Amino acid sequence: MNYGKLLKAFKKKKVLVVGDLILDRYIWGKVTRISPEAPVPIVEVTDEIFNLGGASNVANNIISLGGQATIVGAAGGNDRGGEILRKMFEARGIRFDGVYWSTRPTTVKTRVIAHSQQVVRFDREDKNRVEGKALKSLLNYLRFEVQEHDAVIISDYKKGVISSELVREVLKITRPENIFVSVDPKVGRFHCYKNVSLITPNVHEASQASGIEIKDEKSLINAGRALLRKISCDAVLITRGEHGMSLFRKNNVVHIPTVAKNVYDVTGAGDTVIATFTLAYAAGASMEEAAVIANHAGGIVVGEVGTAVVTPEQLDKSLSANGGLKIREFPCK
């Protein structure tokens, strides 16, 4: 496939992202002394920035890649975090009429960084399950809007939005229309994702969900095949850090080596991978081609500090420098 033509096709695709909305707050500073009150560094603050995180970052990646994104989730309607999210959605061109603005606080992850190193992180959140009026509102929105999109991404950060009921409703709508549904999963919640098109666990999540400790290629393949059976999905994409990723389908596995040259920060890399894979597949790539493109995108964002996104120009440059869409398939024995 001509990946240049494929990247241009991203602009025509609409992706609905449903999940946990997170605001990433970064406090930057420098450390020159230790506190006299306790053995901790004193950070002299030099800057403060906000980035979209969680499902919000997935939508942001879709936009950055040239696609169109709709976000569905819940956030605080009366707090500073919710206000910042609104403004950022508007500025980025992310459609957010599917967001339920509630009394629960907006999830905010604050990272204090000095000399490019994270000193501490503190979170403000409510992880209780979204129920009642809020859940009803989200389900009603999905029933009317899912069919207007080319693909759906479920971004589960275990903050209360994603449930078995919500996933079943999404699948009830998408199956008749043959709409692709991918899931970025969380440990302990794999039972919620049955019959989706794709799940994208990392090695730790795949090990926990399959019950197989992944320590070599044989155990990796056994875990991938076990997840295919357990979730009854079309494909499993296991992200493997410095070892790249592996795509499992019914009769084959594709191992894709990493293209990352430097790894500074893995924050948000999973968001980039699932956003890129889903958009590429919706634009006409095969699953194997979509995995290769997503691998390049992941390699780009881990080379930057903080939550990052990828552009089509960056992808084009990375693919060109690494020989394009190289795919090696292995029989899944």
- CATH of residue 248: 3.40.1190.20
**Short-list 246, 244, 241, CA closest to 223:** 246
Which residue segment(s) compose the domain that 297 sits in?
A: 3-331
- The tally of domains found in the chain comes to 1
**Short-list 230, 245, 225, CA closest to 296:** 245
Mean pLDDT of 21-25: 95
The residue that leads in pLDDT, 317 or 274, is 274
Q: How large is the C-alpha radius of gyration of the chain?
A: 20
| pTM metric for this prediction | 0.92
Answer yes or no: is pLDDT of 330 > 50: no
Answer yes or no: is pLDDT of 332 > 50: no
Mean pLDDT of 175-184: 96
Least confident of 4-8, 112-116, 236-240, 326-330: 326-330
Q: Cα(260)–Cα(247) distance, rounded to whole angstroms?
A: 18
Q: Is 141 helix (H, G, I), strand (E, B) or coil?
A: helix
Structure tokens at 144: 């009317």
In this structure, what DSSP letter does residue 82 have? H
As annotated, the active-site residues are 271
